[in-house]
């Protein structure tokens, strides 16, 4: 196994890394920096786009552009990443909550979930955005939603609460897009962003501990990777063979002194030699 730094971006909060096979780049967002990064890990070239606000998560659209989970709700970016269309204003419906982690399923729907800004009100919810632009509330009762992922066979959906420190598993029907039978999958320190490999194992970052942990489909921890910085936010498989695990990090919640001591905080890391491969990320049909 080898861990290397592919970008020392000093992101405030690096989130939502997604490999784009079309341009061979890792796309990711710095939430509080309000930037979208398109990184070529081989050359270090990083094409940065300024965003009109905070974008916590996104997915590619089949016709070009992005579907996004923004600070205020769902929205769409056009193919040039210049025009933005707001689809919902979730903060108006539920003040004090914002959209956070998100991911597309293999029927072209986009899933994103909310976080309570003060981390003390269990009103965070999981939403499903359909290709027609309508959204539906699918699960409730969390403080800080994270870790959305789907098993390769589309029969299990994962969803975490970072504050409580649990990862839930649902039975999932890919045809009707309804998660059912929620059950405890794993307990850990602050589960954050996650990815699933081709064997169905769930890889999840532990925010504040600088770790990525792999759980088997049965919920058993069988691997733990330590990175040389603490604020590990999300991971994703990328590269031409999807055999590199990329991890975004941040300086978020570090004191000024701690951030100054940690020169790698906010970097993007690449982990190779894991013996695992990812699955392609599906796109949004809207």
**In this structure, is residue 140 part of a structural domain?**
yes
Strand runs labelled E in 72-199? 74-77, 84-86, 97-104, 110-116, 124-129, 135-142, 145-150, 156-161, 166-173, 178-187, 191-196
User: Tell me: the pLDDT tens digits for 174-212?
Assistant: 999 999 999 999 999 999 999 999 999 999 999 999 999
**In this structure, is residue 119 part of a structural domain?**
yes
User: Tell me: the pLDDT tens digits for 131-184?
Assistant: 999 999 999 988 999 999 999 999 999 999 999 999 999 999 999 999 999 999
| Global model pTM greater than 0.85 | yes
The CA distance from 124 to 134, in Å, is: 19
**In this structure, is residue 196 part of a structural domain?**
yes
We report the CATH number of the domain holding residue 181 as 2.120.10.30
Residue 192 designated active-site: yes
**In this structure, is residue 282 part of a structural domain?**
no
What pLDDT, on the 0 to 100 scale, is given for residue 94? 84
Count of domains for the chain: 1
The CA distance from 38 to 48, in Å, is: 6
What pLDDT, on the 0 to 100 scale, is given for residue 120? 84
Residue among 128, 101, 274, 102 at smallest CA distance from 198: 274
User: Tell me: the pLDDT tens digits for 88-126?
Assistant: 988 888 888 999 999 999 999 999 999 988 888 888 999
The domain of 123 spans 2-272
**pLDDT for 73 beyond 90:** yes
Residue among 178, 196, 195, 244 at smallest CA distance from 42: 244
The CA distance from 261 to 204, in Å, is: 25
**In this structure, is residue 281 part of a structural domain?**
no
**In this structure, is residue 263 part of a structural domain?**
yes
**pLDDT for 84 beyond 90:** yes
Q: 100 near 90, Cβ under 8 Å?
A: no
Can you spell out the DSSP letters for 214-265?
A: EE-TTS-EEEEEE-SSSBEEEEEEESTTS-EEEEEEB-TT--HHHHHH-TTT
**In this structure, is residue 286 part of a structural domain?**
no
**In this structure, is residue 46 part of a structural domain?**
yes
Residue among 101, 161, 192, 262 flagged as catalytic = 192
């Amino acid at each position: 196994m080898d861990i290397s730094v592919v970008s020392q971006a000093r992101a405030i909060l690096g989130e939502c890394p997604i490999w784009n096979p079309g341009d061979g780049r890792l796309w990711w967002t710095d939430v509080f920096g309000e930037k979208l990064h398109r990184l070529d890990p081989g050359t270090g070239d990083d094409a940065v786009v300024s965003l009109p606000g905070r974008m916590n998560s996104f997915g590619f659209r089949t016709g070009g552009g992005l579907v996004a989970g923004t600070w205020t709700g769902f929205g769409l970016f056009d193919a040039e990443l210049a025009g933005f269309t707001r689809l919902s204003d979730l903060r108006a419906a539920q003040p004090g909550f914002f959209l956070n982690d998100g991911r597309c399923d293999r029927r072209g729907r986009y899933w994103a979930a909310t976080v309570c800004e003060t981390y003390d009100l269990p009103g965070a919810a999981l939403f499903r955005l359909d290709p027609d632009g309508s959204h539906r509330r699918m699960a409730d009762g969390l403080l800080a939603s994270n870790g959305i992922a789907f098993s390769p066979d589309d029969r299990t959906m994962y969803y975490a609460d970072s504050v409580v420190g649990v990862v839930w598993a649902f039975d999932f029907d890919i045809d009707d897009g309804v998660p059912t039978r929620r059950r405890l999958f794993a307990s850990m320190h602050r589960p954050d962003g996650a990815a699933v490999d081709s064997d169905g194992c769930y890889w999840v970052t532990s925010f504040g501990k600088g770790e990525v942990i792999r759980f088997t489909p049965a919920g058993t921890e069988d691997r733990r990777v330590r990175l040389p910085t603490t604020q590990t936010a999300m991971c994703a498989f990328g590269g031409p063979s999807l055999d590199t695990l990329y991890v975004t990090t941040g300086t978020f919640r570090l004191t000024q002194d701690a951030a100054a001591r940690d020169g790698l905080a906010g970097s993007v890391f690449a982990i190779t030699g894991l013996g695992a491969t990812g699955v392609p990320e599906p796109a949004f049909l809207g």
